[in-house]
Chains A and B, each alone.
Chain A
Amino acid sequence: QSIAIAIGSEPSTLDPQLRDDGGERMVNDNIYEALLARTPEGELVPGLAAALPEQLDALTWQFKLRDGVTFHNGAPFNAAAVVASVARVIDPANNSEQMAYFGTIAGAEAVDDLTVNITTTGPDPILPSRMYWMKMIEPGHAATGDIASEAVGTGPYKLQSWSRGTDLVLVANADYWGGAPEIDEATYRFVAEPGTRLSGLMAGEFDVVTALMPEFTSAVPKFAAVAGLETSVFVVGTDNEVTGNPLVREALNLAIDRQAMVDSLFMGYAQIAKGSHINPAAFGFNTALDSYPYDPDRARALLAEAGMEGAPITVVGESGRWLKDREQIEAVAAYWAEIGLNVTTDIQEFSVYLDSLMGSGPRPDAIFIANSNELLDADREMSFIYHMDGAAASNSDAEMAAMIDAARVETDVEKRQAMYGEIQQHAHDLNYTVPLFNLQDIYGMSTRMEWQPRSDAKLIIAEMTVSE
């Protein structure tokens, strides 16, 4: 059996360690594997490792490797391969974009042929999550072969051919350690236009298309939706004149009819964020929090109490990068205008937007971002948005920053979980952000496809089946 998959962009390279590139991941996730894997529900399980790692000390994690695994070119997978893979990713000369995930890793050393110790620069409780992202390469091929266009991994699929611009074909790896996958051949096609992807699906050319818009769920033969990694949120500038007032910030949160937006904008394919913008699947998510209610009257009252009726605020955002980003921004701006704020919407060009989001200038009153959490650990949100020194942070709450710093190095799982819960409660009470939705990823499929997509947005062909 063979299927055709339409993805939004062609891999820029097949080197699995250099780029942070959606197209590359969609392909390489099937060719390469990491030491750890996740179940479709998000639970970390052993991958190329034989078991979950063991923490030897604050800075060292030990992985036992699966025995008898070979690369597609026949080379054995062993500790040397792991050491080489780690060394290659973190080599500054390679300037890997994936360093965002692996910044804490100091190195790896082989203990024996099937045991590896990975060391970190500081205590890093989420190292296992990080290792889920690190694809293991074959050192010999990486050194001498053309790794950028010839992929050699351990995964269930092997690269058959790649005609750049046209298509990329994977075939099943009959020798896969986990057993040969069901689908024999998968052809990727690269279609950037959502409309064109959709028409290909409807014309029967594609079996799977990514990033389907919610509206089209009624039009396609079959689809599957799953809670994704992205959470949309407005980061509020707490040092600004208007938004510095906690009453105003609360009003901002209460003014939005999130349910209406879910129903109309997302046709139900989104969850209202539960009081924070941490991904619900992530470690550290505070389940105790509840989502903000829609209470415009209370919002108006709060504004009145703060004496901020008609106060000017500027809402900053961009357009076209995330699902329905502009729609969300404009809808929210409209809600805020409704409770009596004088809202200016500023949709910025992306580089300008980046500067607004992460630059050193004054913080915007409210800036939109769809935050993505690939490591599924609350640390990402904590250090990026909540921590006062975070790149996208808009508060100057030193107390909270200290709490985050403490949690980051806490290796006791229970304690860490509790600390994160506390931080979230704190931020929730002070309305530092206006969390909106946990977005769902929707995939369009042909009728013969059977597949439950994963919440980490990985497109694993081995998990698909074709009914015929």
Chain B
Amino acid sequence: MSHPLLQVDNLEVAFDTRDGTVHALRGVNLTLARGETLGIVGESGSGKSVTAQAIMGLIDVPGRVTGGTIYWKGQPIIGAGAARHQHGVWGKDMTMVFQNPMTSLNPLMTIGAQIGEVLQLHLGMTTEQAQARAAELLSAVGISGAQRRLGQFPHEFSGGMRQRVMIAMSIACNPDLVVADEPTTALDVTIQAQILELLAALQDRMGLSIILITHDLGIVAGLCHKVAVMYAGQIIEAGLVDDIFGAPAHPYTQGLIRSTPQLDVDEDRLVSIEGTPPGLRNPPQGCAFLARCPLGDDGCRAPQTLRPHGNGMVACRKAGQPAWEGEQV
């Protein structure tokens, strides 16, 4: 049987708040094959992190998974049919790198202990074995003096190094998938470049799949095979990187790309998408982008689902029509 590595099927997540229920994810569909890198982009609050956390089984009070299923190698791990215990999936086969390297490590545990912990738990190593392996891992992510470093605490590391430690930890058990939620947003450009190189190198070497969540279209362009664009809790466009950057079909994707200033092009004015995304407490029935969309009309009030368009999928009736004046970049 050739199951995809990861399949997210119509995932719905809601958060209970005093002012009503926030429908953070409203039917997210994703498929990821082995060795593939998927970028997820979208503006703040569109549900990228929630998606990642749902995949990792980290949705917690006040959130809850209200619908849909996540399959790992064909087995349901979240939603209908999922077993209560998921031995060796989370933390071993599927790991996560978080956005903020400053706070994502336990400040009072040595780096060695934090890496070793995973190895002992999932691979049943002894402390010594785990420490030896941890040292290897640190070297693998480009931290010199690994032996000495193992005994140090996170605050003795710079931001970039901490993110390397996070990555070392995430690849400790030779996972199949690493979910990276904005792994470089908190870092400087030069450091970001180092980390991205590292991720790319690791992927080459280990045949990892990566889900890379980011704001930065440039990162997606450089690193990913496929990209999914999220808006208001849904994926509104997905496809191969070249296709989407070359010819974005959804008006939102078009706007997103056009509003990004370029290093080598002088625009007179940037495209600005006026307005704000809809609130997720009472999300609109139809296209969520309607209120901000230059092409929108009454027909868009009907629910929009992902439909094939070219090589990819788009959730728009007017997919492919240019939405913003001026030339495509």
Contact, chains A and B (beta carbon distance below 8 A): no
Using a CB–CB cutoff of 8 Å, the interface residues on chain B facing chain A are none
Using a CB–CB cutoff of 8 Å, the interface residues on chain A facing chain B are none
